[in-house]
Amino acid sequence: MPLPKLSTFDGDSKAMVVFTDLDGTLLDGSTYSFDAAREALDELRARSIPLVVVSSKTRAEIEPLRSRLRNEHPFIVENGGAVFVPSNYFPFQLTAATAHGQYYIVGLGTSYPRLRQALKEIEQELGVELRGYGDMLLEEIMMRTGLSRQGAALAKQRDYDEPFVVEDERCTLEALTQAITARGLRWTKGDRFHHLMGVQDKGQAVRYLIECYRRWTDRHRDRLITVGIGNSLNDLPMLKAVDHPVLVQQPDSSYEPDIELPGLIHAPGPGPIGWNQTVLSLLA
């Protein structure tokens, strides 16, 4: 793979990197289509601006999507559980990375078996049903997400993050949070599920890559502009890590109420529609 180029630094031009969530952000919340963002995606490609996918999805889910996007940039899986960098992408050795096939992988998350064990312990402790992906058959994941059978199978291949639902209204968020943090773990809220995870978050993984891009831009490091786009609470750490945080609307045109940040850009539309308009205006 040829080394992708950052925009040139001639004259006053600046380089940009765009980090994006997938579900409900670049992908439509119900059809999982990115068609509405095509114009902005083409523009990023034309200007050689890296687009980095940052999702709660698994590697197995992101890889085919990345092919459809013709994207050859790094990506972040399972809410920051790991950073995948194509081999030979950055012209220097990566910190804390392991070579694995066509990638260098930087693992930041807690292992899936440990998360599963903790979820079941917490279920016992609180006396309420907590149903994770590991408890669900493919049919249930399909029903809850609208994914195809194949999509659900890819979503089940988890390494660092367990999506779950709380089946009992008696379970308060306070009790849940306490039981999770007592085990040195954390949780966040995505589009459809709560997510049990280790100390990782999307922000930590994004900051790792921003540092790589800054190093790549070398003496022009201060001219690197970072953009982050999301729609749900699990995107907040990513939005905090970038220069230009962007929040797209939910399908009902509302904005996630728990996300407030200085300089937050409210995209004028839901999911990929707001994504398209905001990226085009940032590039104008």
Cβ neighbors of 82 (< 8 A, separation 6 or more) are 59, 76, 105, 106, 107, 108, 109, 159, 160, 205
Contacts of 270 (CB under 8 A, 6+ apart): 29, 248, 249, 250, 251, 252, 253
Shortest gap between Cβ of 78 and Mg ion (angstroms)? 13
- Residues of 169-191 as b/e, b for ≥16 C-beta within 10 angstroms? eebeeeebeebbeebebbbbebb
Residue nearer to Mg ion on the CB measure, 20 or 277: 20
231 contributes a contact to Mg ion by CB under 5 A: yes
Query: Hey, which residues does 195 pair with through a beta bridge?
Result: 163, 188
Exactly one of 21, 23, 28, 235 is catalytic; name it: 21
**In the complex, least distance from residue 104 CB atom to Mg ion, rounded to whole angstroms:** 26
* Residue 21 vs 162, nearer CB to Mg ion: 21
Site track for Mg ion across 236-255, x = CB under 5 A:
--------------------
Considering the rule CB under 5 A, would residue 232 count as an interface residue with Mg ion?
yes
Q: How far is the CB of 262 from Mg ion (least distance, A)?
A: 22
Please answer whether residues 61 and 151 qualify as being in contact, where contact means their C-beta atoms are separated by less than 8 angstroms.
yes
Active site residue 191: no
| CB neighbours of residue 205 within 10 Å | 29
User: Considering the rule CB under 5 A, would residue 217 count as an interface residue with Mg ion?
Assistant: no
Q: Which is nearer to Mg ion, 161 or 191 (CB)?
A: 191
Q: Which is nearer to Mg ion, 24 or 272 (CB)?
A: 24
Shortest Å, Cβ 89 to Mg ion: 25
Is residue 163 part of the contact set for Mg ion (CB under 5 A)?
no
Between 15 and 27, name the residue whose CB sits nearer to Mg ion: 27
- Which residue number places its CB atom closest to Mg ion? 24
- Mask: binding to Mg ion, 6-35, rule CB under 5 A, as x and -? ---------------x-xx-----------
In the complex, minimum distance from the CB of residue 82 to Mg ion, in angstroms, rounded to a whole number:
18
Q: CB-wise, 23 or 61, nearer to Mg ion?
A: 23
Q: What's the min distance (Å) between Cβ of 192 and Mg ion? A: 9
The mark string for 69-98 relative to Mg ion (x by CB under 5 A, - otherwise) is ------------------------------
Binding mask 170-209 for Mg ion (x = CB under 5 A): ---------------------x------------------
The tokens describing 201, both together, are 């978050």
Check binding of 161 to Mg ion (CB under 5 A). Answer: no
* Catalytic residue positions, numbered: 21
Name the site residues for Mg ion (rule: CB under 5 A): 21, 23-24, 191, 231-232
